Amino acid sequence: MKTFSLLLNSRGAPIAVETTVLWFLEKKDDLLVCEIRRAAGTRGYEFEIADATGPRTIHCESPKELIAKYLAEHSRLVREGWRPRAGNISSLE
């Protein structure tokens, strides 16, 4: 799932589009919500993994660092038995 938000300048003209990428992983009855986004107020990025206990955010300074950390975390999650969500998400409660 991707979400887009349009950034506007002081006159209301578009200046940039921000993209957030979300995806869901499941293991038995447990759900992880993963998100990649630009870090607020910096040139960096954030990769967040949220489970029932709350989010864990990994900060990255460059796209190269973001990709390396994402691949490492994704590999770890797959080894632990997490898989892409098979069905629709009706609620994140």
Kindly tell me if the per-residue pLDDT of 21 is higher than 90. no
Kindly tell me if the per-residue pLDDT of 48 is higher than 90. yes
Residue 41's pLDDT is what?
82
The stretches of 13-62 forming alpha helices (DSSP H) are: none
Phi, psi of 61 (to 5 degrees): -90, -20
The stretches of 1-93 forming alpha helices (DSSP H) are: 63-79
Residue 46's pLDDT is what?
94
Residue 31's pLDDT is what?
92
Residue 77's pLDDT is what?
95
